[in-house]
Structure 1
Amino acid sequence: MSTQKTVRQEAGTVEDNELRLETAKAEQVVEALNTDLAATYVLYHQLKKHHWNVEGAEFNDIHVFLGDAAGNAEEAADELAERLQAIGGTPIANGKRLEEHAPVEPEGEDVYDIRTSLENDLDIYGDIIESLRDHVELATNLGDHATAQLLREILVEVEEDAHHIDHYLEDDTLVVGEATN
């Protein structure tokens, strides 16, 4: 464990930034970005859980997709954290705090059939999509066009992954069979 005693910036604070975004505006954007960061990490962990546990006739395709989708979520989280740090904030980085701050609820530790798992993922994607859209508007209204652009780019990727899940959930996919003992 580190013996360093000097705190460079307290968690939850927003300092002046070199990007010249007023602190009062930066505080609002930082709060929004931390919300999206927290939701994205909840999604990331749930996608990884499903990636590890997927079974069935379409195992390989779904396994690969879920791994890619988790990678997209991890990349988005990194971009969100770096942006909020650039505008003077501190990214939430503690697992417990991330889950507490997230506006989405993970499904829990049990393993479900893949259809249920993907439906649960799609619910979280929908909540994140709505949040990102709201935060694009917030950042635009506050004059933080770079954050708005970043959020738009993340939104496109999130919507694309959600659309793929929607396709996996169509009636002619995910063959349901009876378990044999």
Structure 2
Amino acid sequence: MAEKTQVKTFPAPEELATPTDLSPDEAQAVTEAVNPLIADTFALYTKTKNFHWHLSGSHFRDYHLLLDEHAEQILATVDPMSERVRKIGGTTIRSISHISELQSIEDDNEEYVHPGEMLRRLIEDNRHIVQKVRSAHEVADGCRDYKTSDVLEDVLEGAEERMWFLYETSKGENNTA
């Protein structure tokens, strides 16, 4: 197996350098706060689609549609966050292996997960995203990068809403097969 090499995300190579009024340290701090959040967003997207594809049971249609909607919302947050990193002079996610280096949301490769357990896991993973967004928001604010903070507020709103919908949907759901 090939040895993993850390993908450099700051500063961008000369050909990709982007002018900014942020100091190099500020831009690097924001880049290092947002890129792991982007990796976790990809991981959550994949897990949500996994559960969407592998649902079974009496609530199939409702859960299938809900998880598809959530996956679309999650994926829609990647580009705005990635473009913010580029706009301040960093680089962002380059590959699946880069995602795996940075992600803290665990993959879910089980053959079968009960629908109630799927919802529980997605609630926890969205909660994790909320926590990471709040931390990245603090870094961006501290580095005077208020536009990144603004983008992160939209990501936060979506993650909190998904948690709410998943929680309300899961009420009364038996989490065992």
Q: TM-score, normalised on structure 1?
A: 0.85
**Structure with the larger RCO, 1 or 2 (CA within 8 Å, 6+ apart):** 2
Match of 1:149 in 2: 150
Match of 1:20 in 2: 21
Structure 1 unaligned spans of 5+: 1-9
Match of 1:96 in 2: 97
Residue type matched to 1:168 in 2?
T
- Kept in 1, the 8 Å contact 2:133–2:152? The answer is yes
2:113 is equivalent to residue 112 of structure 1: yes
Identity of aligned residues (%): 25
**Structural RMSD (CA):** 1.9
Residue type matched to 2:57 in 1?
G
- Kept in 2, the 8 Å contact 1:11–1:92? The answer is no
- Kept in 2, the 8 Å contact 1:26–1:88? The answer is yes
- Kept in 2, the 8 Å contact 1:42–1:104? The answer is yes
Give me the whole-angstrom Cα distance separating, in 1, the residues matched to 2:74 and 2:22. Answer: 26
Q: Which deviations, in whole Å up to 9, do the C-alpha atoms of 1:106-161 show, x marking residues without a partner?
A: 22242211111111111111111111011111111111100011101110011101
After superposition, the Cα gap between the structure-2 partners of 1:176 and 1:34, relative to the gap in structure 1 and judged at 3 Å, is closer
The structural deviation recorded for 1:100 is 2.1
Match of 2:57 in 1: 56
Q: How many residues align?
A: 167
Residue type matched to 1:35 in 2?
P
The structural deviation recorded for 1:37 is 0.2
Structure 2 unaligned spans of 5+: 1-6
- Kept in 1, the 8 Å contact 2:119–2:166? The answer is yes
- Kept in 1, the 8 Å contact 2:41–2:129? The answer is yes
Matches for 1:28-67 after TM superposition, within 5 Å: 28-67=29-68
Runs of 4+ in structure 1 off by over 3 angstroms are: 174-178
